Amino acid sequence: MSGIPCRYYDGRTSRRRDAVLALTARGGLVVAREGADERLNYENVRIPGRVADTPRFLHLPDGGVCEVQDNDALDGEQARIRRDPEPRADRFGRLRHRLDSTWQGAAAALAVTAAILYSFTEWGAPAVAAVAVAATPPEAEAVIGENFLTLLERLRVLKPSELEPNRRNELLAAFEEMRRETGVEDADLRFHSVGVPNAFALPGGTVVLTDLLVELAEDDEEVIAVLAHELGHVEGRHVMRRFAQTSSMLVLWTAFTGDVSVAALSFLGPDRLLAQRYSRSFETDADRFAFDYLLSAGIPPTRLSDIIQRLSGDDGEAGAGGNALNWLASHPGAAERARNATEAAKRAREGAAADE
Amino acid sequence: MNEERQSNAAQDDPRPDLEHSDARTEEGTQATEGAGAGEPQTRRLRFTASGREYFRIWIVNVALTLLTLGIYSAWAKVRARRYLYGNVWLGDSAFDYTANPVAILRGRILVVIVLALLTFAQFFSILYYYAALLALMPLVPWVVVRARSFQMRNSRYRGIALDFQGKYWDAAVWYPLSWAASVATLGLARPFTVFGRDRYLVTESRFGNQPFGFAGKPRPYYGMYLVTAVVVGVLYIGGIVALIVVLGAALAATSSNAEAAEPDMRLLLFGLVAIVAAVSLFVLAYLRTRLLSYRWSNTRLGDDACSLDLSFTEMLWLYSSNAVLILATFGLFIPFARIRVLRYVVGQFSVTQTDAERIFEAGESQGVAATGAEAAGEFGLEIGI
């Protein structure tokens, strides 16, 4: 009998016997153990799909195992007796082997993976985040923001503000007016002292303004410009959306790498780049919101880019190479923001000219 | 590796005279001088997987997993495991991974449900979250036992399955209760609990009906943890001192106005990340290497002794170069990295057998009837142990 050489184990002991197996036309299988003149007949033994060139173990109904190392011979025999229609599991097994044993298959898989990762990053995660944030009650968001603020105060990161009460009231009035004009509901302004000039928005609509920023500003217009930018973050619920986007990306990276620890590693690399990109698009949105308000209040949008430029110490174009660095930045470059501000001002002038 | 492949191929030839095939000295066998039938022989495990083959399997798995919203991940796991097991050879037989993907899928669905409930609880109150976590504690030993026995029962060599027969209450002692003990003693009990956990995992394991034995002692665990603690302490203190010096120099170089504050923050953040990375890399390369080596080198199967001899510097090199390459290739190096580590670790594993022809018998759980019936209601739980 011609057949495929294999090793036969009876499943009760680890004794190995060399044997020959043959597939029958009815889908059965015959194992002839050499040495002991014995033939075993089986009906419908499932032959596992091929994985690269690793030995295939045929698990026999009586607990025995046939180990076949000659994969090509087994494939040939399987093809010879292939039934029509071919059982689904067998067809699937052959397809998988065709896919992952050739570079063409791997290239196709890589293309599919890249396309899915790209679309999820570009559209999926922001959409998921928008839905998740829309479903989060504002009260819950406010609690998160309040807890975070209390924590920062307790850790003495945020110290009480030393600004004059009068000065504070002026700015509060300006903020209140801005809030009413733009129709943003839950927003409030708090003053604190931190070692750096800064302003930031928290979940729930709290905007924190630091004393040093007020000092750094040449006049109130600049402070209002910064506050308008932060109100843009509040209006778009950017903090929560960013959190939701980053979380959903981590889930995707875990699926990609198949391992949470490796996903955590990629969290330092590729995923960071994506998070920064999201962050920049939020900054651009907030800038746009600020420009609109500033124009309506008769303040030149360039006042925002002026103070930002002074804040970052960035004095202009980084050249063509600046684009590569942009990938790494969480904020758009100061030069880019200045350009946007100038354009917004220009558009406003043109719009005004058209109205006349 | 090519050489090994060829010798495998040579063994595929059908041989007319098969009476003595088992007794033949196999490649990879280092028979001692003048070895007779009863003399001990040391055989190394061989690993014949290639990074390129594994990359193709991995990327197809990833694509299908993403396309099926994660459902395929169970099939992907079985396929990757089958590839890796099928490339581990002891003598002239490879290992066989027999897990049923549907069981793994059931297990993963269960885990996702639990995680979703935990996240949900977190939304209401952090108190609910901790309460839920505490309520899940009694499940931990059950998960440990299930995961371990699922993994072992689905690993076969020469038609004989491994097995794990650990009991719930022992798992409760060596997992949740040990964690509590480590915390309560500020980590002093940790080496002992790791020793106990290793002994539990090894001695409750079987190959067929032959239980594994463990010859390890608690004292070496204290040695390993002491070295780790000292080096981690030195790395932290040294790193922070270095950071202060660098920051001070940077601060002195630039005028200390408000504009300089931001670059300094970046430097500080970078320095802190670098210190944490150095510490984790050391712990991963040193502690893991030593723990694995010690556990396996003290594992016996009847009269057969296992040995695993991993070098710290080699593992440090593998882990650090892998991390850099994975980051640089946006993750595409992951499958190659896995094969590099496995090739080294598997290649350092050897078994010294007093009787190379010893025949092992299957355990009771490997009955014909048990396989089908049990698989139907089985949860393929997996955890990293």
CA B39 to chain centre: 32
Q: pLDDT tens, A314-341?
A: 444 333 333 333 444 456 666 777 778 7
- State yes or no: ipTM above 0.95: no
Q: How, if at all, do strands A199-201 and A159-160 pair?
A: unpaired
Three-class SS of residue A21?
Answer: strand
- Cα B148 from Cα B380, distance rounded (Å): 10
Asked whether the predicted pLDDT for residue B54 surpasses 60, the reply is yes
Q: pLDDT tens, B106-120?
A: 888 888 888 788 877
pLDDT at A161: 85
CA B138 to chain A, closest CA, distance in angstroms equals 24
Query: Which residues are B259's β-sheet partners?
Result: none
Three-class SS of residue B143?
Answer: helix
Reference A58, options A80, A40, A36; nearest CA is A40
DSSP 8-state secondary structure symbol assigned to residue A120: I
- Cα B288 from Cα B122, distance rounded (Å): 33
| A105 touching B (Cβ < 8 Å) | yes
Work out the number of other CB atoms within 10 angstroms of the CB of residue A20. Answer: 19
Asked whether the predicted pLDDT for residue B270 surpasses 60, the reply is yes
- Cα B290 from Cα A68, distance rounded (Å): 37
Please state the rounded mean pLDDT for residues B257-270. 59
In chain B, which residue's Cα lies nearest the Cα of A33? B18
CA B312 to chain centre: 16
Asked whether the predicted pLDDT for residue B2 surpasses 50, the reply is no
| A148 touching B (Cβ < 8 Å) | no
In chain B, which residue's Cα lies nearest the Cα of A309? B259
More confident residue, A156 or A213: A213
Question: Counting one residue from A and one from B, how many pairs have CB atoms under 8 Å apart?
Answer: 174
Q: What is the mean pLDDT of chain B?
A: 81
Query: Which residues are A23's β-sheet partners?
Result: A29
Indicate the residue of A54, A110, A269 with minimum beta-carbon distance to B327.
A269
Asked whether the predicted pLDDT for residue B136 surpasses 80, the reply is yes
Indicate the residue of A11, A106, A197 with minimum beta-carbon distance to B258.
A197
Q: pLDDT tens, A257-307?
A: 655 455 555 555 555 666 677 778 888 888 888 888 888 888 888 888 888
What are the structural domains, with CATH classification, of chain A? 4-101 (2.30.29), 117-355 (no CATH)
- Highest mean pLDDT out of A184-193, B2-11, B94-103: B94-103
pLDDT band at residue B194, thresholds of 50, 70 and 90?
A: very high
Reference B341, options A103, A261, A255, A254; nearest CA is A261
pLDDT at A63: 85
Asked whether the predicted pLDDT for residue B88 surpasses 60, the reply is yes
Whether the CB-CB separation of B108 and B73 falls below 8 Å is answered with: yes
Least confident of A203-212, A329-338, B19-28, B208-217: B19-28
Q: Long-range contacts made by residues A122-131, C-beta under 8 angstroms, separation at least 24? A: A124/A248, A125/A245, A125/A248, A125/A249, A125/A252, A125/A278, A126/A241, A126/A245, A126/A278, A128/A244, A128/A245, A128/A248, A129/A240, A129/A241, A129/A242, A129/A244, A129/A245, A129/A248, A130/A241
CA B217 to chain A, closest CA, distance in angstroms equals 30
CA angle A64, A66, A71 (to 5 degrees): 160
pLDDT at A130: 85
pLDDT at B370: 37
Q: pLDDT tens, B25-50?
A: 344 444 444 444 567 889 999 999 99
- Cα B60 from Cα B45, distance rounded (Å): 28
CA B366 to chain A, closest CA, distance in angstroms equals 8
Q: What is the mean pLDDT of chain A?
A: 80
Q: pLDDT tens, B315-328?
A: 999 999 998 898 88
| A17 touching B (Cβ < 8 Å) | yes
Asked whether the predicted pLDDT for residue B146 surpasses 90, the reply is no
Reference B195, options B181, B216, B212; nearest CA is B216
pLDDT at B337: 93
| A86 touching B (Cβ < 8 Å) | no
Least confident of A16-30, A175-189, B163-177: A16-30
